[in-house]
Amino acid sequence: LPSLPCEQGWLAASLHLYQGFWLGPRHLNGVLACQRHFRAQDTDILLVTTPKSGTTWLKAILFTLLNRTKYSGSGSQLQHPLLSQNPHDLVPFLELNLYIEQDVPHLASLPPPRLFATHLAYQSLPQSVRDSKCKLVYLCRNPKDTCVSLWHFTNKLRPKDKCENSLQEALDRFCRGVSLFGPYWDHVLGYHKVSSETPEKVLFLKYEDMKEDPRANLKRLAGFLECPFSEDELRDGTVDDILRLCSFDSLSGLEVNKSGKLASGEENKVFFRRGEVGDWVNYLSVDMAERIDRVVEEKLLGSGLRL
């Protein structure tokens, strides 16, 4: 397992290349365990992202969409779990949450549809995910916003004895493909290809499209997951209720997300910063932006994908 020398910054110093992708410190055991032990079921739904592409948002949306009859409507007395739990505690990552202990978790008896998340590249998914009929929802985000968001996030999570990484360092690494679960473009292209070839297997979404037309994208998501909205639901505000509950303002304003912590220890508030499209302009110089654009354009050449 090649790893990077220490002068590259605190996080990069502990990244390891595995199957062509950079894993963070402590990720390898979880990745190996879930590759070995996870058995996908045909009814499973897997949410896939590179870090900082809107995972938290999509977790909230998918959870609310799939449980919409349970927690909404006049007949329901149940308080919605998102009001008291962070989306990451409701939709666990396979490799970061479920398979980190020695014991193999008992997931077989969970009621369908089981909803899990992962940052794994397509070729690193457990074999059964690729072989089964389970569905994957992939969300990607503009690389400049992803890079800036990742820079903020890794600095917030840095151990107290480590100094901050500069944005220039973070950008250099990102452009060399050295980012958590990156190279970013290989991750995105892997899922984009499968989605083009087998659209019933992978739904390929963009953060920017979700922001621009959340209603249309939520309906698309429901159709893909074979739980389309009924005519009544389209009329009675169900779609808008889901979007409102899962919006940045709503989630980031909840007490649990202002002061709570995840079961895994991170503060919930680190997953909410600006939640906007194009915030990179506030951080990247023209040169920096052009550099990412050049690299990404070159890597995506011929794929038909624009980010």
- Catalytic machinery residues: 119
Question: Can residue 55 be called a binding residue for ligand A3P (CB under 6 A)?
Answer: yes
Q: How far apart are CA 243 and CA 221, in angstroms?
A: 12
State the minimum distance, in angstroms, from the CB of residue 159 to ligand A3P: 19
Residue with smaller CB distance to ligand A3P, 13 or 262? 262
- Asked if residues 145 and 284 have their Cβ atoms less than 8 Å apart, the reply is no
- To which H or E segment does residue 17 belong? strand 16-18
Question: Can residue 155 be called a binding residue for ligand A3P (CB under 6 A)?
Answer: no
Q: Which of 77-97 are b and which e, b meaning 16 or more Cβ less than 10 Å from the residue's Cβ?
A: eeebbbeebbbbbbbbbbbbb
The contact pattern for ligand A3P, residues 1-30, with x = CB under 6 A and - = no contact, is ------------------------------
State the minimum distance, in angstroms, from the CB of residue 87 to ligand A3P: 8
Question: Can residue 93 be called a binding residue for ligand A3P (CB under 6 A)?
Answer: no
Residue with smaller CB distance to ligand A3P, 169 or 279? 279
- Asked if residues 292 and 174 have their Cβ atoms less than 8 Å apart, the reply is yes
Give the binding range for ligand A3P (CB under 6 A) out of 36-44, 46-54, 180-188, 298-306.
46-54
Question: Can residue 217 be called a binding residue for ligand A3P (CB under 6 A)?
Answer: no
Question: Can residue 191 be called a binding residue for ligand A3P (CB under 6 A)?
Answer: no
Which of 162, 186, 134 minimizes the C-alpha distance to 19? 186
Residue 189 phi, psi dihedral angles, 5° rounding: -65, -35
Give the binding range for ligand A3P (CB under 6 A) out of 8-16, 19-27, 44-52, 197-205.
44-52
Question: Can residue 152 be called a binding residue for ligand A3P (CB under 6 A)?
Answer: yes
Which of 121, 129, 109, 116 minimizes the C-alpha distance to 36? 129
Tokens of 146: 């992803």
Dihedral angle computed from the Cα positions of residues 150, 115, 44 and 30, in that order, rounded to the nearest 10 degrees: 50
Residue with smaller CB distance to ligand A3P, 57 or 229? 57
Question: Can residue 248 be called a binding residue for ligand A3P (CB under 6 A)?
Answer: yes
Calculate the CA 82 to chain-centre distance: 17
Of residues 49, 179, 195, 268, which one binds ligand A3P by CB under 6 A? Answer: 49
Q: Which residues bind ligand A3P (CB under 6 A)?
A: 49, 51-57, 145, 149, 152, 246-248, 251, 271-275, 279
